[in-house]
């Protein structure tokens, strides 16, 4: 699909991987809307790339509907949707303090898994009604999982479950939307140099990088964005899950 001139929506676009995707799309001529719980960060990025921004809780139906209407009014219904919003809270199921509060598990599932599903269902509802382009396509969706979906570490039960759910949605979602000319793909990134990782000491970052076979470094968000670009543009890639991790496999802890 041609990115230039298309209306694009990026959740979690105020920082990290989502910001890199928003910048990539803008650089290729798309009209970009950034949805983020942090309105200040979203507005900053939007101002720098000539896009629009709106505070949004991806797990709230009302919040996403409001954002959807705002985007439609200002740049047209989105044909390109990239879900990057998520949280990475860690915690053991049973620690010295006792069993993990169920609310902690629920929060991770709500934001990561339900949030991704919520954005897909509400943007897909409008996308499927758009006029088909010359090649029959109506849009493309890319979701963000994690290598934790495949080899989650101790303390990542909630996070791995949420990302595993996103991986599992790729095929049924793609099959459901196929008759409308909408593709659904997923990227499962490994260890990337995001703002959260930048807060770690340099030695800790180096240790993480040394555990990656090749290249032995942390991933660059621009590399994630380029993978998203490929999935959006290549019309024959559908229902795919791409590990983007330098051949890394997470140790138990």
**92 is a domain residue:** yes
**E-strand stretches of 3-144:** 7-11, 31-36, 52-55, 80-83, 94-95, 98-99, 139-144
Any domain includes 253: no
Number of domains forming the structure of the chain: 1
Residue 195, pLDDT score: 82
**Is residue 212 included in any domain, yes or no?**
no
Residue 200 forms part of a structural domain: no
Range of the domain at 79: 7-195+220-242
Q: What is the DSSP letter of 219?
A: B
Neighbours of 49 (CB within 10 A): 20
Residue with tokens 């909408």: 182
Mean pLDDT per block of 10 residues along the chain (253 residues) reads 97 98 98 97 98 98 98 98 94 95 97 98 98 96 97 94 98 98 98 81 83 95 98 98 96 89
pLDDT recorded at residue 12: 98
The answer to whether 220 and 167 are in contact (CB under 8 A) is no
159 catalytic? Reply is yes
Residue 200 confidence (pLDDT): 66
* Active-site hit among 159, 214, 230, 236: 159
d(CA 91, CA 41) in angstroms, rounded, equals: 27
Provide the CATH number for the domain around residue 111: 3.40.50.720
In a domain, 210, yes or no: no
Give me the pLDDT at residue 253, please. Answer: 87
Residue 131, in any domain of the structure: yes
Residue 166 located in a structural domain: yes
Q: Is residue 60 part of a domain?
A: yes
Predicted pLDDT of residue 51: 98
207 CB contacts (<8 Å, ≥6 apart)? none
Predicted confidence at residue 172, as pLDDT, reads 98
């Amino acid at each position: 699909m041609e990115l230039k001139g298309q209306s694009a929506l990026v959740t979690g676009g105020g920082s990290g991987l989502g910001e890199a995707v928003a910048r990539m799309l803008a650089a290729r001529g798309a009209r970009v809307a950034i949805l983020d719980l942090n309105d200040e960060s979203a507005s900053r990025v939007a101002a720098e790339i000539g896009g629009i921004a709106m505070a949004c809780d991806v797990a709230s139906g009302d919040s996403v509907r409001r954002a959807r209407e705002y985007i439609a009014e200002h740049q047209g219904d989105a044909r390109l949707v990239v879900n990057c919003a998520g949280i990475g809270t860690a915690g053991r199921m049973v620690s010295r303090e006792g069993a993990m509060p169920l609310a902690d598990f629920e929060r991770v599932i709500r934001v990561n898994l339900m949030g991704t599903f919520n954005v897909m269902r509400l943007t897909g509802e409008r996308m499927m009604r758009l006029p088909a382009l010359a090649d029959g396509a109506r849009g493309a969706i890319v979701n963000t999982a994690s290598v934790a979906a495949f080899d989650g570490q101790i303390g990542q039960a909630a996070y791995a479950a949420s990302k595993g759910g996103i991986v599992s949605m790729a095929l049924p979602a793609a099959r459901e939307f196929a008759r409308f000319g909408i593709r659904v793909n997923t990227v499962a990134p490994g260890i990337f140099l995001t703002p959260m990782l930048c807060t770690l000491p340099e030695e800790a970052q180096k240790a993480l990088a040394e555990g990656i076979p090749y290249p032995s470094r942390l991933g660059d968000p621009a590399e994630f964005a380029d993978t998203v670009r490929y999935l959006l543009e290549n019309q024959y890639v559908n229902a795919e899950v791409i590990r983007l991790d330098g051949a890394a496999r997470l140790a138990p802890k």
